[in-house]
Amino acid sequence: MFELMGRTALVTGAGQNVGAGIARALAAQGAAVAVNDFVPERAQAQAEQIVAAGGRAVAVPFDVTDYDAVVAGVAAAVAELGPIDILVNNAGNGGAHGMVPTQFRDSDPADWRGPIDVNLYGVMNCSHVVINPMRERGWGRIITIASGAGLIGLRLGVSPYAGGKGGAIGFMRHLAIENARDGVTANTLAIGLMELKDRTHTEALARQIPVGRTGRPSDIATAVVWLAAPESEWVTGQTIQINGGSTTS
């Protein structure tokens, strides 16, 4: 079940944390994985880890916000591993490069574009480059990692990020319908607060999660494997929340 041998996946922002977990899980099911990150050393290190574990992977560093770079990066991945069957849009701007943890009324317009660029344009760029080849082959899976912040209102002061993620959620629904007759599914995971090695501020928020803990990359990767597999062909246009039962914040 969920056999991915013979399939090729591209996972964006896979140099660490959630994306790295997704890349490893897809490789463990047999997929050849193009590991993207705009930090080349991260992409390289994750690709090497997969290969060391017996999988097939190459690093394809590029910035998902740059359409021409996406075209070149996908071409490099295809040359090494074959056509992309599975695209996971995981690269996200969650803080360091533009999410502004401030109330919108106090925010600087110059800080809005970063989160929209990565979380929405990044998804559109990558999807645009792979969609026609997927349609021509009659098979494809596009999975976008969004956030609960794109679905519900939070007090955290992340409205530009929510704009990007919410935009991606709407975009993916339409992508799904446009391609539903051509063997290509498009689904979104709206994920909750993750427990990540380099985050220390999450304890109080974690206590509010019904299941009683923050998420692990494997919690998300398991769902990606299902959505990437042939068995999920009747699932498209969905936004699935994976968040330990959170309904509000």
Ligand X SMILES: NC(=O)c1ccc[n+]([C@@H]2O[C@H](COP(=O)([O-])OP(=O)(O)OC[C@H]3O[C@@H](n4cnc5c(N)ncnc54)[C@H](O)[C@@H]3O)[C@@H](O)[C@H]2O)c1
32, 34, 91, 229: residue in contact with ligand X (rule CB under 6 A): 91
Q: Count of H helices and E strands in the chain?
A: 8, 7
The answer to whether 67 is a known catalytic residue is no
Instruction: Return the number of the residue (44 or 107) whose C-beta is nearest ligand X.
Output: 44
Q: What angle separates helix 122-137 from helix 67-81, to the nearest 10 degrees?
A: 40
Which stretch, 31-39, 74-82, 123-131, 132-140, contacts ligand X (CB under 6 A)?
31-39
Q: In the stretch 176-215, what mask flags binding to ligand X with x, by CB under 6 A?
A: ---------------x-xx-x-------------------
8, 9, 11, 13: residue in contact with ligand X (rule CB under 6 A): 13
Q: Does 65 bind ligand X (CB under 6 A)?
A: yes
Which helix (H) or strand (E) element contains residue 107? none
Q: In the stretch 100-139, what mask flags binding to ligand X with x, by CB under 6 A?
A: ------------------x---x-----------------
Instruction: Return the number of the residue (1 or 96) whose C-beta is nearest ligand X.
Output: 96
9, 10, 15, 35: residue in contact with ligand X (rule CB under 6 A): 15
Active site residues: 161
